[in-house]
Amino acid sequence: MDQTYACLDGNEAAARIAYAVSEVISIYPITPASPMAEHCDDWAAARRPNLWGKVPDVVEMQSEAGAAGAMHGALQKGALATTFTASQGLLLMVPNMFKICGELTPAVIHVAARTVATHALSIFGDHSDVMHARTTGWAILAAGSVQEAHDFALVAHAATLRARVPFLHFFDGFRTSHEINRIALLEDDDIRALVRDPDVLAFRSRGMTPDAPVVRGTAQNPDVFFQAREASNPFHQAVPGIVQQVMDELAARTGRAYGLVDYHGAADADRVIVAMGSATGAIEETVDRLVSEGERVGMLRIRLFQPFPAGQIIAALPATVRAIAVLDRTKEPGAIGEPLYLEMVACLAEAMDQADPPFVTTPRVIGGRYGLSSKELTPAMIKPIFAELAADRPKRHFTVGIYDDVTHLSLPIDASFRSVRPAGEVQAVFLGLGSDGTVGANKASVKIIGESTGLYAQGYFVYDSKKSGSITVSHLRFGPEPIRSTYLIDGADFVACHQFGLLGKTKVLDYARRGATVLINAPYPADEIWDHLPVSVRRELLEKEIDLWAIDALAVAGEAGMGGRINTVMQPCFFQLAGILPADEAIRQIKGFVEKTYAKRGDAIVQRNFAAIDRSLERLVHVSLAGRTIDEAGVEIPARAEPDFVTRFTRRLLAGDGDLLPVSALPADGTFPSGTAQYEKRGIAQMLPIWDPTICIDCGKCAMVCPHATIRMKVFPAAAVEDAPAGFLHKEFRSHDLADHRLTIQVAPDDCTGCGVCVDVCPAKSKTDSSHKAINMEPVAEHRDIERPRWDFFQSIPMLDRSLVNHATVKGSQMLEPLFEFSGACAGCGETPYLRLVSQLFGDRMIIANATGCSSIYGGNLPTTPWTVNASGRGPAWNNSLFEDNAEFGLGMRLALDAQTDQARQLLGRLAPQLGPDLVSGLLESSQATEVEIELQRGRVAELRDALGRIEGPAAADANHLLALAGDLVRKGVWIIGGDGWAYDIGFGGVDQVLSSGRNVNILVLDTEVYSNTGGQASKSTPRGAVAKFAAAGKGTAKKDLGAIARSYGNVFVAQIAMGANDQQTTTALLEADAWPGPSLVIAYSTCIAHGIDMTKSMAHQKDAVRSGYWPLYRFHPSEVESGKPFKLDSATPSIPIAAFVANETRFAVLQRTHPERAAELAVLAQADADERWRYYEQLSGIERTVPHVHRPDPAILPEVESDAGYRYDESGEPV
Amino acid sequence: MSVDLGTRYLGLSLRSPIVASAAPHNDDPVVAGRLQRAGAGAIVLPSLFEEEIVAEELEIARSLEQGTEHFAEALDYFPAIGQFLGAAERYLGAVEQVKARSTVPVIGSLNATSRGAWVRYAHLIQDAGADALELNLYRVAADPGR
């Protein structure tokens, strides 16, 4: 049979089939499943029809629960529907899954199986999501490779229609979902043959219609529910037979034969491993090697997990088997064992309890956990399992792949054991930076080789958790046989390091086998390269007898006009050195690929890539290591003092040695210390902002807009710099209140990302050279060593007493210490400046509930966190729960805080006799409206703690309780932070509930107008006319006015801010939100990479957003005054048209070029939106509105206290 | 008494020697119509700059590739963007539209920079219906390398 081959990843392989057989696709994005939905959306946008000639309707919902509900509705109406999800997303679908299965409705959900969040969130792969969902009764098919993901997608869609039992089709997140492999494609005729018309028509005939109405979803009583539940038994019992039938039909058409289970290994095996998913690839390789060495081992691969194919399993196991190890890729604490283990135990027990048992003695079964969150499973880890099975008393329960020194469950790893690599296979590893195009080039190489040479090809890509300066590692294999190695490469034949700076900073040569070829991108002539290599790298080169090659790729790329994108320079070198294709043919293929990929971008891009390709090979040089020796000692960099946790834990992760950490090194409850990002010192900036004090006007805007807190302003007494190192810059600080003070603007050279936003906003220019500002971007090589000691000294200068600073101004706010620093956010991120500012204003007294999204990733992705502490050890307490529950999570914190404060106050009252009336009344009556007051209260609490320690006798119990609660007598703020995906969509129900509660919480929405973290899917915050995923032809509907909904309550403080347009209003609004003793909602315009702008100009874009009326600035102050007008517009009447703003953003500009007529229509509507909103808001500013309240005592009788933000409180702390 | 203002220019017969020279809105058919009604003998469209074409291509490519293959959850930030109308295509479309509504000659204007581009775009502008072409050739009397 003729097969068409293509190189796809698991997501695309599954999506192709799902798209072909669906009419309605309701989705919600979640890693690592989002690409399935995105492919479908792209195909629908390109009007690709399904099998029946209809273009499926792809609809993004507000959450996975919504996607499941919509899918359920579509199915009940008789439309073929599907969806794609993972992890928590699948969990949110579970209630609907019970219903769909109970109603015997055919359906398929494709899952890129991912870890369910427990002590931490993980985007990586394991089976905890699908195993949780098994109780719904859905059939579960496990694909273990990209080919199987493609084939089983069809099996699932075909079988469900025949069986009327819905199917979960899953494959391992990342390991299969994102692995590119060469597969044989199913043709439309294959799909048509298996998804049979009679089954489709029968399904349609059961759809809801008023023409023949029925009622479903009834409520039932104890008399009949049980019987009705049992009535579906025959359907579930028939599933295994139906699945095998479909698989046999597939085999007849394609030659690829699958069983519900498959045995691989020695026919007389006495030890067998049972597993499902991608691990079976690695286990199969291990079995092959061991069998070739005479061992009697085998593997049973489970493909249909549910209904559990007990009969087929017993039939497949060799009669000689004595011991079975079952591997589960999930953890269920409290259960005797994990699901597959328990099923196997029950299966064997039942089989042996028959008249004719299949084995002489019941095989011993042991259960192991592996691979949680994409932890590797390699032959070195699998071999010891077989050894354990041979032991007299093997561990009943064990783990593999880790070292467990706490409960001692782990098996050892045999690091010397590897599977036998097939003859002719090449393994290649490439290291690059995210911005250099390495991964894209490698994906192209896999496709070129897999689709034009007849060789099999595999590509798997590892990224780190940073959004800028991210290191990428590409693992590529090519060979004459199908590639089953479902683990990372160890012992590569070829290693390429595409960024010279990575050598010595991260593992590079570790990937190389002895005698490997190594290619480095080096900005030096061949004979000078050795001198620039770190000693550790030199050592490895010699010890491993590496064949070293080099190219100055940046120079070649620069000459070709490619900037920093060196991919098409490095790619021909790889082909030349790896010898997979002759160089001429490789170049021809690379150019063909470039043309195919970039022709639609225009000829300039194609030509520049061609220029890079043409110049590449002539600049490739061999670097001779002949005669080189290692006799220099490495330069010891003195270690800085750092906390013990950082040395033992954080540093190991930063060095890439996390896998080596034992279980005991990890906190059991997921609690980590703050302030670890300062130890990273990533040094990724190519340019640094360098200060010229002679031009600076002390405005503080540079520090205000810095996303990473890497350019800071500090004011200090002149005496503080008496011992400053030579060259430390400072200038006079002009102030009425602070005499003889100096000011410094200082960059943190190893933490700065070089985004350039600070320079872009600096308003101070030289009078003689207008291109020279008070800060200017300069090359890092010329300045890093100068700025390092300056930064060290700058940090040693004590912070100014906060009570001497006016927090409510831009300059004043920037004199405060940031407690959010050095995050891994994108360079120029629009969200992080707000967080940095909030940490400066309130950091030492805030508790944060942070939604999942960009802010939870740059805020809390290991190895480090940017949230930190001040010199007193205080700082934001930060927590991420889930995506959908963040507002409620934060409300819970406020409820707890209030409950504990109340209890503390009660205890104070009870202990007054022991504590004394002055201390007690001071603690109870302090308004804490200002920071000064809060600091005084802290002093009283310290005094309280002392006094409580001295209390004995019957009051001691109360004293102990009060000691535990004393801290809550100090006012704290609860901040509920997240992006628009959370606030407008999945978490909106919770946001609304919290706003309605009247409780004192501050909700900060970092509004990027799109799902930034998962790659730019549209949200209800996406504006009309913007292009986003699931809005490829421009979003047709207007942006939701979240502020309006919040304002409807009347007692919620609402503000809309944009730092780049008005940093003063931003500061004021945040202070007012904190001071408002009720719910506050602040919506912060956040520029984002998904807007397609030059991120250096982030803040300038915000100015245009406001000037055009696209983003009005306002504050809504609930007022108890009869004639109060709570709505205050803070931005001026729009002075430029919307068109002028959107022309500079690719998310709008691209639509004008792809769909010009639609863009023109939406542009008219977008301008009308802005005009109408302005007209409405202008009217609102004149409207009187009062918050219903109880009449207050005459303020003339009670003195008032003024708060930091201008609020007035009466003495009991109530607002006036 | 009416005066015949007709003349010949570039081999074209013009009803009047007053020609609307290259200006930003001449490619708008509405504006071109008004110029015609006002008596222009011919209309020169604004210049097509090769730098504009290249800058747009590079900027769109840069912004679509920005941040890609960087972070595992967001390997890209935009949906698949297919072929789009670049500056050159939009210009040629404008030539066609203005020409379709004109009774006076329509003259294209080209400002290329690279070898081959002059000829390529000249052909395209001609094929789009322009009656003549204004070539903005220039020589800078300086050495850019110094």
Nearest CA among A184, A64, A216, A181 for reference residue A129: A64
pLDDT of A1214 higher than 70? no
The alpha helices in B1-116, defined as continuous H runs, are: 29-37, 50-65, 87-100
Name every chain B residue with its beta carbon within 8 A of the beta carbon of A826. Answer: 67
Residues A1024, A1026, A1031: CA angle, nearest 5 degrees: 95
Kindly report the average pLDDT of chain A as a whole number: 95
| Collapsed DSSP state (helix, strand, coil) of residue A924 | helix
- Please indicate whether, in this complex, the C-beta atoms of A603 and B81 are within 8 angstroms of each other: no
Nearest CA among A388, A384, A335 for reference residue A365: A388
Rounded alpha-carbon distances, angstroms, from residue A735 to A239, A698, A738, A797: 81, 11, 5, 19
Q: Please give the Cα distance from A758 to A703 (Å, whole number).
A: 7
CB A139 within 8 A of CB A243: yes
- Please indicate whether, in this complex, the C-beta atoms of B64 and A439 are within 8 angstroms of each other: no
Q: What is the pLDDT of residue A142?
A: 98
pLDDT of A27 higher than 50? yes
- Please indicate whether, in this complex, the C-beta atoms of B79 and A38 are within 8 angstroms of each other: yes
Sign of the C-alpha dihedral, residues A416, A420, A422, A423? positive
Nearest CA among A87, A66, A128, A67 for reference residue A852: A87
What is the phi-psi region of residue A714: left when phi exceeds 0, alpha when psi lies from -120 to 50, beta otherwise? beta
Name every chain A residue with its beta carbon within 8 A of the beta carbon of B83. Answer: 600, 1154
Q: What is the mean pLDDT of residues A586-599?
A: 93
Q: Give the residues across from A274 on adjacent strands.
A: A300, A326
Name every chain A residue with its beta carbon within 8 A of the beta carbon of B60. Answer: 601-602, 1146, 1149-1150, 1153
CB atoms within 10 A of CB A66: 20
pLDDT band at A256 (very low <50, low <70, confident <90, very high): very high
Q: What is the CA radius of gyration of chain A?
A: 32
Pairing between β-strand A1053-1057 and β-strand A1114-1116 as defined by DSSP bridges: antiparallel
Q: Please give the Cα distance from A110 to A130 (Å, whole number).
A: 10
pLDDT of A1198 higher than 50? no
Query: pLDDT, tens digit, for every residue of A973-1021?
Result: 999 999 999 999 999 999 999 999 999 999 999 999 999 999 999 999 9
Q: What is the pLDDT of residue A351?
A: 97
Q: Which two tokens stand for residue A359?
A: 């084995």
Q: Which helix (H) or strand (E) holds A248?
A: helix A233-254
Q: Where are the domains of chain A?
A: 4-209+235-254, 261-399, 426-623, 682-814, 973-1181, 1192-1216
From the list B60, B79, B83, the residue facing A1146 with the nearest CB is: B60
Q: Please give the Cα distance from A915 to A878 (Å, whole number).
A: 33
Share of residues in chain A with pLDDT > 70 (%): 97
Q: Establish whether domains A261-399 and A973-1181 are of one fold.
A: yes
A1077 contact partners, CB below 8 Å, separation of at least 6? A1000, A1214, A1215
Is A901 an 8 Å CB contact of chain B? no
- CATH code: domain A4-209+235-254 is 3.40.50.970
Please pick, among A12, A38, A64, A343, the residue that the annotation labels catalytic.
A64
The A residues from 1083 to 1122 touching B (CB cutoff 8 Å) are 1089-1090, 1092-1095
- Please indicate whether, in this complex, the C-beta atoms of B80 and A42 are within 8 angstroms of each other: yes
Q: Which helix (H) or strand (E) holds A300?
A: strand A297-302
Question: Does the active-site annotation cover A1062?
Answer: no
Rounded alpha-carbon distances, angstroms, from residue A56 to A45, A200, A836: 10, 16, 44
Q: Is CATH 3.40.50.970 correct for A973-1181?
A: yes
- Please indicate whether, in this complex, the C-beta atoms of A1015 and B76 are within 8 angstroms of each other: yes
CB A1186 within 8 A of CB A1116: no
Q: Please give the Cα distance from B134 to B128 (Å, whole number).
A: 15
- Burial A373-387, CB ≥16 within 10 A → b, else e: bbbbbbbbbbbbbbe
Q: Which two tokens stand for residue B48?
A: 């097509």
From the list B73, B75, B85, the residue facing A1013 with the nearest CB is: B73
Query: pLDDT, tens digit, for every residue of A943-982?
Result: 999 999 999 999 999 999 999 999 999 999 999 999 999 9
DSSP A650: I
Q: What is the pLDDT of residue A204?
A: 97
Reported as half-sphere exposure (CB side, CA atoms, 13 A), residue A741 has a value of 22
CB A57 within 8 A of CB A44: yes
Query: pLDDT, tens digit, for every residue of A135-191?
Result: 999 999 999 999 999 999 999 999 999 999 999 999 999 999 999 999 999 999 999
Q: What is the pLDDT of residue A1199?
A: 46
pLDDT of A1149 higher than 90? yes
- Burial A790-817, CB ≥16 within 10 A → b, else e: bbebbeebeebebeebebbebbbbbbbb
pLDDT band at A2 (very low <50, low <70, confident <90, very high): confident
- Please indicate whether, in this complex, the C-beta atoms of B66 and A123 are within 8 angstroms of each other: no
Domains of chain B: 8-135 (3.20.20.70)
pLDDT of A857 higher than 50? yes
Q: What is the pLDDT of residue A1195?
A: 52
Q: What is the pLDDT of residue A1196?
A: 52
Question: Does the active-site annotation cover A254?
Answer: no
DSSP A14: H
Q: What is the pLDDT of residue A1?
A: 60
Question: Does the active-site annotation cover A528?
Answer: no
Is A1029 an 8 Å CB contact of chain B? yes
Tell me which architecture the domain covering A261-399 has in CATH: 3-Layer(aba) Sandwich (3.40)
Reported as half-sphere exposure (CB side, CA atoms, 13 A), residue A1189 has a value of 17
Chain B residue at shortest CA distance from A598: B61
Q: What is the 3-state secondary structure (H, E, C) of A961-1028?
A: HHHHHHHHHCCCEEEEEEEHHHHHHHCHHHHHHHHHCCCCCEEEEEECCCECCCCCECCCCCCCCCCE
The A residues from 414 to 453 touching B (CB cutoff 8 Å) are 434-435, 437-440
- The interface pTM score, or ipTM, of the predicted complex is 0.91
- Residue A191 carries which side chain, given as an amino acid letter? I
- Residue A1213 carries which side chain, given as an amino acid letter? G
pLDDT of A504 higher than 90? no
Q: Which two tokens stand for residue A672?
A: 């980590």
Which pairs from B120-127 meet CB under 8 Å and 24+ separation? B121/B48, B121/B50, B121/B88, B124/B88, B124/B92, B125/B48, B125/B91, B125/B92, B125/B95
Q: What is the pLDDT of residue A454?
A: 87
Nearest CA among A868, A836, A867 for reference residue A704: A836
| Structure-token match 């199987």, residue found | A148
Is A646 an 8 Å CB contact of chain B? no
Longest dimension (CA), chain B: 80
| Structure-token match 């590892």, residue found | A462
- CATH code: domain A426-623 is 3.40.920.10
Give helix A146-163 / helix A197-205 axis angle, nearest 10°.
50
Q: What is the pLDDT of residue A634?
A: 57
Rounded alpha-carbon distances, angstroms, from residue A19 to A2, A9, A76, A153, A970: 23, 16, 19, 10, 57
A955 contact partners, CB below 8 Å, separation of at least 6? A910, A911, A914
pTM of structure: 0.95
Share of residues in chain A with pLDDT > 90 (%): 91
Tell me which architecture the domain covering A682-814 has in CATH: 2-Layer Sandwich (3.30)
Q: What is the pLDDT of residue A1040?
A: 97
Query: pLDDT, tens digit, for every residue of A1061-1099?
Result: 999 999 999 999 999 999 999 999 999 999 999 999 999
Query: pLDDT, tens digit, for every residue of A389-440?
Result: 999 999 999 999 999 999 999 999 999 999 999 999 999 999 999 889 999 9
Q: What is the mean pLDDT of residues A1088-1111?
A: 96
Question: Does the active-site annotation cover A861?
Answer: no
DSSP per-residue letters across A694-763: TT-----HHHHH-TTS-EEEEEEEGGGGTTPPTT---EE---SSSTTEEEEEEE-TTT-----HHHHH--
Q: Give the residues across from A512 on adjacent strands.
A: A492
